[in-house]
């Protein structure tokens, strides 16, 4: 469909834009709680996944293989690490699919004529959706952990992981936003999604803590947005410390700023494309 010629609409004042974004955030949060059967299903899936993963990683850690970093792991630390990373990974809303549908099916154009920023509204709504999942799945995780009788890290580790988990989820939403905006050029976002997904598995530490990798790969992975997305929060369950928390939070804030800038560039480039070539 050929896009109609249009001039740039008047931007809403910053205060009004923030108020609209907060309303979108609240909408996403309330909608998540309203769909509580779906939220319970996600929590149940998380518990089943963790039952399998904990059985596997408990046996791996119990081997204490000589000459490996496994000898330095705390008892049950790997299970708590994967519990944290899975908690974040399952909480990130699939904003890339919404963006793909709106861009590919030509549903984006009516939104461009409205005073509210379409992209900001979508991101804020996805933040609210994701935070609802964080609360629902996190509650199930804590209840299961309390009933498991496992040895727990210091209480501060939970506080560090909770704060880093919130920012990690925001990074996850922004990574998926980058994937969704690829629809301006590739129409279907499955290929870029698979690239980001595999990078998250390897460089984000969803496959294994990146501290177990060879030194060169660890140093490279540690500064990527994928580590800021998952590893830094999970690592607090293995090696909690105030210094590591501060460094991790700084890394997350840097990546939030960089990804926001990248998204702004992609958005404006994508709009120029559809205004020039149509959808």
DSSP state of 68: S
Of 75, 65, 70, 57, the C-alpha closest to 237 is 75
pLDDT digits (tens, 9 = 90+) for 165-185: 999 999 999 999 999 999 999
DSSP state of 241: -
CA 263 to chain centre: 15
Instruction: Please compute Rg for the chain using Cα positions.
Output: 20
Read off the pLDDT of each residue in 25-49 and give the average, rounded to a whole number: 92
How far is Cα 172 from Cα 225, in angstroms, rounded to an integer?
Answer: 9
Asked if residue 70 lies in contact with residue 60, where contact means CB atoms within 8 angstroms, the answer is yes
How far is Cα 219 from Cα 99, in angstroms, rounded to an integer?
Answer: 33
pLDDT digits (tens, 9 = 90+) for 180-213: 999 999 989 999 999 999 999 999 988 888 888 8
Asked if residue 203 lies in contact with residue 211, where contact means CB atoms within 8 angstroms, the answer is no
Answer yes or no: is pLDDT of 1 > 50.
no
How far is Cα 165 from Cα 31, in angstroms, rounded to an integer?
Answer: 21
pLDDT at 11: 55
DSSP state of 10: P
Identify the residue with better confidence: 17 or 182.
182
Asked if residue 91 lies in contact with residue 180, where contact means CB atoms within 8 angstroms, the answer is no
pLDDT at 201: 92
Per-position DSSP letters for 128-170, written without gaps between them: HHHHHHHHHHHHHHHHHHHHHT-----HHHHHHHHHHHHHHHH
Q: Give Cα separations from 28 to 23, 128, 129, 139 (angstroms).
A: 9, 4, 4, 19
pLDDT at 72: 61
Please tell me the pTM assigned to this model.
Answer: 0.88
User: What's the whole-number average pLDDT of the chain?
Assistant: 87
Answer yes or no: is pLDDT of 69 > 90.
no
Of 122, 132, 166, 134, the C-alpha closest to 32 is 132
Asked if residue 42 lies in contact with residue 143, where contact means CB atoms within 8 angstroms, the answer is no
């Amino acid at each position: 469909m050929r896009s109609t010629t249009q001039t740039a609409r008047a931007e809403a004042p910053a205060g009004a834009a923030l108020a609209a974004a907060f309303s979108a955030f609240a909408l996403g949060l309330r909608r998540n709680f309203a769909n509580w059967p779906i939220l319970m299903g996600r929590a149940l899936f998380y518990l089943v996944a963790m039952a399998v993963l904990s059985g596997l990683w408990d046996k791996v850690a119990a081997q204490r293989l000589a000459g490996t970093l496994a000898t330095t792991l705390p008892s049950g630390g790997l299970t708590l690490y994967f519990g944290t990373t899975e908690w974040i990974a399952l909480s990130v809303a699939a904003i890339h699919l919404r963006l793909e549908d709106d861009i590919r099916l030509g549903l984006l154009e009516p939104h461009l004529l409205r005073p509210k920023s379409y992209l900001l509204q979508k991101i804020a709504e996805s933040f609210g959706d994701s935070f609802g999942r964080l609360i629902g799945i996190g509650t199930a995780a804590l209840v299961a952990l309390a009933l498991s009788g496992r040895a727990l890290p210091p209480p501060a580790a939970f506080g560090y992981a909770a704060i880093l988990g919130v920012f990690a989820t925001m990074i996850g939403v922004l990574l998926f936003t980058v994937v969704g905006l690829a629809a301006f050029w590739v129409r279907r976002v499955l290929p870029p999604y698979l690239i980001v997904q595999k990078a998250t598995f390897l460089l984000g530490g969803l496959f294994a803590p990146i501290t177990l990798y060879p030194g060169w790969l660890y140093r490279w992975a540690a500064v990527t947005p994928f580590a800021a997305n998952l590893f830094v929060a999970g690592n607090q369950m293995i090696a909690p410390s105030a210094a590591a928390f501060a460094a991790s939070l700084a890394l997350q804030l840097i990546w939030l700023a960089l990804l926001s800038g990248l998204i702004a560039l992609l958005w404006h480039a994508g709009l120029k494309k559809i205004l020039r070539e149509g959808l």
